[in-house]
Chains A and B, each alone.
Chain A
Amino acid sequence: MVNTDRQFLDAIHGKITNKKRQWVTIFTSVIMVFSTIIVYETSGRITHERYELLWSEYQNENTEYYTWEVFDEIPDVDMYSYLLELYDMDEIMDILDDSPDILNALKTTRLEG
């Protein structure tokens, strides 16, 4: 196959064009790979933050709250009337069996009504 000068030159320009196209392809591929990595990393971070957010929401939803009434010092009479409001007499007697201090207090209390 004998190339004329013009064909030879055309073949060179064809190769130059191909090489330029290859570089564009390589450059585009590199950019795409980097973009994918960046998007992946960013989405991973966002997802991680989102999970943390959801967990904190979940934590709030499931927190159990307890309220305690604190009495500094209750007089014996108030204590007894308070027990009467909450419990039956049988239950009071059971509690009192375990608490001799309260029983002694009741003994000295004058019941009204």
Chain B
Amino acid sequence: MDDKALIEKFLQGDVKSYNELVYRHQGWVKGMTMNIVKNLQDAEDIAQDVFVKVYFAINRFRFESEFKTWLYRIVINKVNNHFRKQKLRSWFSAELHEEIAEDQAHPASIENRLFEMTNRLPRFQRNIVLLRIYQDLPFKMIGDILNITENSAKVSFHKAKTNLKKYYIGKYGEYR
């Protein structure tokens, strides 16, 4: 049974179809959130929130795109919310200073540094980087997920890369 049939059955009140949807998509959703937030507990929490959102918002899904594309949008929104909350928490917490001190004592790898820089990008550019680099999605699909054209996705990704390089050089000196 395909996603569309499962969604239609769920809309008629069949919770087993919803469970089937969860079983079918939880793997890549958890993988994606884990790739982005780098923390298993947070990743699982976000993945659960994604499916809770699906449960309450599925009646707004109009079958104009693939269910997976729609699910990607929810994941991206939930991840952005997570980062926003994290940023707020950092502002009000002294832990941030401790983390910075720790980072300076034990320099992070270039990948971790770049990931940290990704969080400083404007939200739209960050979404593209997350989908392109951390999910390895084609620009066509990124465009579908973010409701933009393939070319816009490519241009924004290029701008994001330029910004990342600028941030990196600004903080760590030469890009190596």
Q: Residues of A with Cβ closer than 8 Å to B?
A: 1-3, 5, 8-9, 11-12, 15-16, 19
Contact = CB atoms under 8 A, between A and B. Distances in A.
**Size band of the interface chain B makes with A:** 10 to 19
Nearest to A8: B26
A1 B40 contact: yes
B157 interface: no
Nearest to B15: A13
Given A19-B52, A19-B56, A12 B22 contact: yes
A1 B34 CA distance: 13
Contacts of B49: 15
A70 to B, nearest CB: 86
B48 A15 contact: yes
Interface of B: 19, 22-23, 26, 30, 40-41, 44, 47-49, 51-52, 55-56
Contacts of B48: 8, 11-12, 15
A9 B22 CA distance: 7
A8 B21 CA distance: 13
Contact of A16 (B26, B44, B47, B52): B52
Contacts of A5: 23, 26
Chain A interface mostly helix, strand, loop or mixed? helix
Nearest to A7: B44
A2 B30 CA distance: 11
Contacts of B47: 8
B52 A12 contact: yes
Given A8-B47, A9-B22, A16-B55, 6 more contacts: A8-B26, A11-B44, A11-B48, A12-B22, A15-B49, A16-B52
A3 B19 CA distance: 16
Contacts of A2: 40
A2 B44 CA distance: 9
A19 B48 CA distance: 13
Nearest to A11: B48
Nearest to B51: A12
Q: Looking at B22, B23, B40, B48, which has the most chain A CB atoms within 10 Å of its CB?
A: B48
A2 B41 CA distance: 9
Contacts of A1: 40-41, 44
Nearest to A3: B44
Contacts of B55: 12, 16
